[in-house]
Amino acid sequence: MSIKLKGQTKEYEKGINALDILREQEGDIKKAAIAARLNGKLVELAQPLEEDGTLEFLTFDSDEARHVLRHTASHVLAAAVKKVVPEAKLAIGPAIENGFYYDFDVPEPFTPDVLEQIEKEMGRIIKKNDREERFVLPREEAITLMEQREEPYKVELIRDLPPDEEISFYRQGEDFLDLCAGPHLPSTGRIKAFKLTSVAGAYWRGNEKNKMLQRIYGTAFMDKESLEAYLFQLEEAKKRDHRKLGRELDLFDLMNEGPGFPFFYAKGMVLRNTLENYWRELHRKAGYEEIKTPIILSRSLWEQSGHWENYRDNMYTLKIDDEDYAIKPMNCPGGILAYKRRMWSYRDLPLRVAELGLVHRHEKSGALHGLMRVRSFTQDDAHLYMTPDQIKNEIIGVYKLDDQVYKDFGFQYKVELSTRPEENTIGTDAMWELSTKALQDALEELGVPYTINPGDGAFYGPKIDFHLQDSLGRSWQCGTLQLDMNLPERFDMEYVGPDGEKHRPVMIHRTVLGSMERFIGILTEHFAGAFPVWLAPVQARIMTITERADEAVKGLRIKMEDAGLRTEIDLRNEKIGFKVREAQMQKIPYMLVIGDREAQEDTVSVRTRKGETLGVMAQDVLIEKLLHEDKTRALERNWEV
């Protein structure tokens, strides 16, 4: 059997496994490799190789290899739970992004003390370096085995497998085995660092009619340093959780009376309106006109757009005068009606139309998550209508607008181009080729690095997605640019060309922020609630040392508010240190302190939420500096003391 590795081919006896070949290698790869790929297909190191081909060893840097390590860790967790809680019944235990979980049916919920025992048992299993051995059984034997081991959930899973599905198990050490398709590490000792992170309830198979199980989450890494860095990031994420900060800073909240329907309070509305004003300013400069379309439209419109047939389960519907209507789940059909109000000429194109449109989608309750996943949200939509020869320039314009927005908020980002799916697409081959090439040509002309996501475009056209990276390194998909060959056809959209004939316009769907609510959630976590001055709901809090300065504080507030700055005052009879700390807890950018001397001299002592003391300065000078920081939309203080 011929195996090609690093450009060199060598003969091996058929049935050799990748682990034996790995032992022949030199350097760090011998310790770092945790899986392999043969002819592009993932294989575990202990798996016998039965065909010629190209072999590649995978380290923890690979998504596939991380999956193998963490999936093995989930089985170590299951083995430990069976040791600590013998009556536990096993459900499922997959690897997930950044970790793994396993669901158990147990008599009592897991307590912190029991979790600690489970972690210790996992450590013992890993130290013991139990082998992971795969074996296959016929369906009836597999069912009998799981029935003998009193694992009803595994029996159900086996019965639901397709008739021709291979049924495999993994034996771990002497006592534990589990139904599993794999792949796994060769042995448990290759898990060098792990941590159980949380416990939650989870319905069996995600169905709320089924029994509630106990789900243990965990993560695993190849070294303790990486694990500690990840756990630190988790703690930071908890501190930055927008749901927690939204309540503490009195910005927004979600309530049981309206699950998935956010409440925005006064300070949250200042943040939101500031964001919307910024959005409008940029779009006005970029040549967009803004419209507003109704949130309730007739069933016939949604039938024409295809939503009634394909998206109805996610739509809220109602009857008006015995006719069916729907609350819009997206803005496109309403925007198209606005386009069709008149016949356009090619001289009118490109036409750029933006809308901050309120939409509603019936998300399942289990999918809701703060502002990140809601049932009511405002999309910062835009629809661009153009002739085919204008596509590339319009894509470049959209990209430049997105780039400016993300830089203004301090985000790094990556660009992904998604191409035509293999099945169930509409449009001609020529139109798909034209559209995809236009997207590629635009990105290449701009010199933008991008990755191609084959086959992940929409059924109606290729798209570009923008993935933002926040201050913790987490990725968020926000902006998108989609070429659409479906709706212009469905709605018989037209313009008059230079030949006097009617033609079909090209349509681009585009968002920059994604949705106002979700973007506010992302910003809250990105800045940990400490918004830059231009976004901060309160830009400065003015406070007294004694009540003799009350009038001076009120006077300064009037001057600052008249200049366009957002302020609060604190006249309470409390120690100044207490007042300052409280303002810092509210993440207000500047604390302005006025005592007897400052009141007499029209000056103010300036401190920042970071604990910096900037000294005493004239009130008018400070106002000028804060206005400069606000107007320039600086992310950090950009003026000298």
Helices of type H across 129-240 = 139-148, 152-160, 224-240
- Is the Cβ–Cβ distance between 114 and 85 less than 8 Å? yes
Among 10-24, 279-293, 541-555, 626-640, the range scoring the smallest mean pLDDT is 10-24
pLDDT, tens digit (0-9, with 9 covering 90-100), for 422-455 = 887 777 788 888 888 889 999 999 999 999 999 8
pLDDT, tens digit (0-9, with 9 covering 90-100), for 118-141 = 999 999 999 999 999 999 999 999
Residue 102: pLDDT band (50, 70, 90) is very high
The catalytic position among 361, 587, 625, 637 is 361
This prediction has a pTM of 0.80
Domains 265-293+346-526 and 540-631 agree in fold: no
The catalytic position among 240, 242, 420, 509 is 509
Q: Is the dihedral of CA 594, 597, 600, 602 positive or negative?
A: negative
The catalytic position among 283, 332, 420, 510 is 332
Peptide bond into 350 cis (omega under 30): yes
The catalytic position among 47, 379, 440, 482 is 379
Measure the CA angle with vertex 189, ends 186 and 190; round to 5°: 65
Give domain limits for the chain.
2-57, 64-239, 265-293+346-526, 540-631
Architecture category of domain 265-293+346-526 in CATH: 2-Layer Sandwich (3.30)
Query: Which CATH number does the domain 2-57 belong to among 3.40.630.10, 3.40.228.10, 3.30.450.20, 3.10.20.30?
Result: 3.10.20.30
Res 157 pLDDT > 90: yes
* Catalytic annotation present for 463: yes
Bridge-based pairing state of the strands 252-253 and 212-221: unpaired
The catalytic position among 267, 463, 607, 625 is 463
The catalytic position among 381, 484, 570, 630 is 381
Bridge-based pairing state of the strands 495-496 and 590-594: unpaired
pLDDT for 48 equals 87
Other beta carbons within 10 angstroms of residue 506's beta carbon come to 26
CATH T-level topology, domain 64-239: Threonyl-tRNA Synthetase; Chain A, domain 2 (3.30.980)
As a three-state string, the secondary structure of 545-557 is CCHHHHHHHHHHH
* Catalytic annotation present for 379: yes
* Catalytic annotation present for 361: yes
pLDDT, tens digit (0-9, with 9 covering 90-100), for 384-403 = 999 988 998 999 999 999 99
Q: Is 562 exposed, middle or buried (0-12, 13-18, 19+ CB in 10 A)?
A: exposed
Q: Which helix (H) or strand (E) holds 592?
A: strand 590-594
- Between the alpha carbon of residue 87 and those of residues 90, 125, 204, the distances in Å are 10, 19, 17
The catalytic position among 383, 392, 526, 557 is 383
* Catalytic annotation present for 362: no
Amino acid at 155: V
pLDDT, tens digit (0-9, with 9 covering 90-100), for 212-271 = 999 999 999 999 999 999 999 888 888 999 999 999 999 999 999 999 999 999 999 999
Architecture category of domain 540-631 in CATH: 3-Layer(aba) Sandwich (3.40)
